[in-house]
Amino acid sequence: MTRDASPQPIPEAPGTATAVASPPAGQDRRPLTVGAEEEYLLVDPVTREVRPEAPKVVAEAAGELGDRVTTEITAYQVEVRTDPHSRLDLFAEQVRSMRAAVVRAAARHGLGVISSGTPVLPQPLPPPMTEGLRYARSVAAFGALDDEQSICACHIHIGIPDLETALQAGNHLRPRLPALIALAANSPFWQGRDTGYASWRTMAWARWPAAGPPPYVESRAHFESLVAGLTATGGILDRGGLYWDIRPSHHAPTLEVRVADAAATAQDTVLLAAIVRALVDTALADVEAGRPAFRPSAEILRAACWRAARDGLAGEAVDLRSHRLVPATAVLDELLADVRPSLRRHGDLETVTAGRAALRAIGSGADRQRAAHRGRRDLTDVVDHLMHAMTTDTTGDGQAESRSRTL
């Protein structure tokens, strides 16, 4: 696929009441803080298969990262988390340094690291689980649902200490979920085959009883009632098991956006974080101004998320107002136009403009994985592409490398 790589400016927001009125309401706020949790997969650099060595690698990486690196539910996965940052450049620097630390730690054990929403090659099912009471409880409660939990995500945290405000902002973000799924899609392969989806992780995750698009939350009391009801039914083990795509974090004073696949490069993570922060900033301005959130029906929103997971940015998306199909890139560009004032307010406009140009040139993570596969039709090439992107990206030139390998 040929794309225009020139950095086209993000258009000004159209002259709607929302777009025009949003910036003044938030002009006096301090910059919102942004942080991220990233999950990676360990692979054998010879066979390219996933390897259950996370406890060793985490212990090794902890020498540099301390408690910002930990294990995840399967022994294939390593999780890292940033500090909260007001400046996007400092956030980007920490993402790159964390990735570099994990790559070095894995290399000392003869392993490679990839950042993908799913493993590429076939793996034994069920996967080897990390020891711990919580994971044992999950397996006992949810059975085979845990068989596909070697999937990896990128969670973006935006600092909002007030729960009621976070819930209202989340209501405004709900209609943006399909665009974020398409933007971050990076998991086309599962069990050694092309699934036909740009984000298979989204589909695997949607099977859980409290996952996918969240409901419209009327109030804090409504939210607490939902959590209590889901806990009472066994649908979640506790508040931490609330796996909605947007939720108030259970362990930090943040609004957590959990919809994204693990990002292939640090640049992908930074682009996602800048856009999510701008979305939340725009939502807060609307909340302050008393503008109601758009409330698409749960059924159409779910269908739009499915379509986004299937097509990514390379196909069509659901217009949530008309219920018609439109180019997925048009939906993303409309979103970027709407949040342009917030991007400018945080100093992130140039970064996002460059990131959007890169997406035009090299495609999403899913597009790049498929491009790596097209040459020899060998999935080991996809793993090599992901390992190489992870390694070179720690120096900040990952997108340039990806462009040379995929065009």
The DSSP secondary structure of 293-348, one letter per residue, reads PP---HHHHHHHHHHHHHHTTSSEEE-TTT--EEEHHHHHHHHHHHHHHHHHHTT-
Mean per-residue pLDDT for 384-404? Answer: 65
Mean pLDDT of the chain: 91
Cα(131)–Cα(400) distance, integer angstroms? 39
pTM over 0.85: yes
Tracing tokens 């390998």 back to the chain, one arrives at: 405
How many CA atoms, within 13 angstroms, populate the side-chain half-sphere of residue 147? 11
**Quick count: other Cβ atoms within 10 Å of Cβ 208?**
17
Cα(109)–Cα(101) distance, integer angstroms? 13
pLDDT value of position 150: 95
Q: Which residues contact 149 (CB under 8 A, 6 or more apart)?
A: 73, 74, 127
Cα(203)–Cα(223) distance, integer angstroms? 25
Contact 116, 77 (CB under 8 A): no
Residue 36 sits at φ, ψ, to 5 deg, of -150, 150
Q: Give the pLDDT confidence of 112-141 residue by residue, as tens digits.
A: 999 999 999 999 989 999 988 888 999 999
- Residue 14 above 50 pLDDT? no
pLDDT-derived band at 250, boundaries 50, 70, 90: confident
CATH of region 17-406, choose from 3.40.50.300, 3.40.50.1370, 3.30.590.20, 3.30.500.10? 3.30.590.20
Q: Calculate the CA 152 to chain-centre distance.
A: 9
Mean per-residue pLDDT for 74-97? Answer: 98
Mean per-residue pLDDT for 173-196? Answer: 98
Lowest mean pLDDT among 19-23, 154-158, 191-195, 275-279: 19-23
pLDDT value of position 291: 97
Q: Give the pLDDT confidence of 199-231 residue by residue, as tens digits.
A: 999 999 999 999 999 999 999 999 999 999 999
pLDDT value of position 251: 87
My answer on whether omega of the bond before 45 falls inside 30° of 0, hence cis, is no
